[in-house]
Amino acid sequence: MRADEKHEFGELLVGLLELYGRQITPAAAGLWWGAFERHPLGEVRAAFSRYTQDPEQGRYPPTPAAVLGCLPSAVSRPGADEAWALALASLDEEASVCTNDEIQEAANAAKAVWDETADKVGARMAFKSVYERVVSERRLEGRTPTWRLSLGWNQGKRAGAVEEAVRRGLISREAAARHLPPPEPEGAAAAVAGLLSGSTTVVPFPGGDEPTRRRLAELREAIASAGRRAEPEGPSRAETIVARKRAALAALEAHQNQHAKEAG
């Protein structure tokens, strides 16, 4: 927020606390401002509204940490249990999972515990502790998680994971396109692709009128003719060299026989 928006923020804060029958001191107002000044006023207003409408936490007087969790940039963060499930899923080399840098940082701490003790419960507790600390710190700093796809080898399951990440708004559709196969050509594009690739699959060509079929036949013949011209005609280079060697030996032998007759 800008410095000139501090007064409007104060009015929003007083209104929020009045809903819960609370008043605020200047010192407490300064703490609230310090927690939210890194965020745009529009997002702060949305967070205040979201907190009051939440059926669970909205029943209790707000704290800065609780309202920070209602910021639009924080809504996409999974809870500790869901994050732990994502961390475990990312270890499956077959599965494709969308995870983020905060989950990965906590997973590294959990892996250290698991490597030393092989205690899954202890690793989970370590993960949750680190994850909650990291999330709290990033929220106070106004930083959002960076999501990325961890792709498994099973391509059949990859598309579903990518589409789910797009649906949840974790990655853009443009970023998702880099992890998906290109769409199959359709119609005229499919027919031409089949010709160029030499595919024997019969693809219906749109607009099956006589001129279209004639142009398609001409294209097929042109491609076939180009292939025939590329093939070598007549004897190969190796066969030509062998023939020349034989002719040279025969000529030399004839010359030697003629020389022997003249000498005799």
User: If we measure between CA atoms, which residue out of 67, 63, 68, 53 comes closest to residue 24?
Assistant: 63
User: Per-residue pLDDT averaged across 124-153, rounded?
Assistant: 83
What residue type is assigned to position 170 of the chain? L
The single-letter DSSP state of residue 103 is H
251 pLDDT above the threshold of 90: no
Query: What's the pLDDT band for 8 if we cut at 50, 70, 90?
Result: very high
Summarize pLDDT for 160-212 with one digit per residue, the tens.
Answer: 778 877 777 677 777 777 766 655 555 555 555 554 455 544 445 454 556 66
The single-letter DSSP state of residue 184 is P
Q: Are 65 and 132 in contact (CB under 8 A)?
A: no
Cα–Cα distance for residue pair 126/128, rounded to 1 Å = 6
Cα–Cα distance for residue pair 29/24, rounded to 1 Å = 6
β-strand partners of 99:
148
Summarize pLDDT for 212-223 with one digit per residue, the tens.
Answer: 666 667 766 766
Q: Are 123 and 111 in contact (CB under 8 A)?
A: yes
Summarize pLDDT for 18-63 with one digit per residue, the tens.
Answer: 999 999 999 999 999 998 988 888 889 989 998 999 888 899 999 9
What residue type is assigned to position 164 of the chain? E
The share of the chain scoring above pLDDT 70, in percent, equals 65
**Model pTM?**
0.47
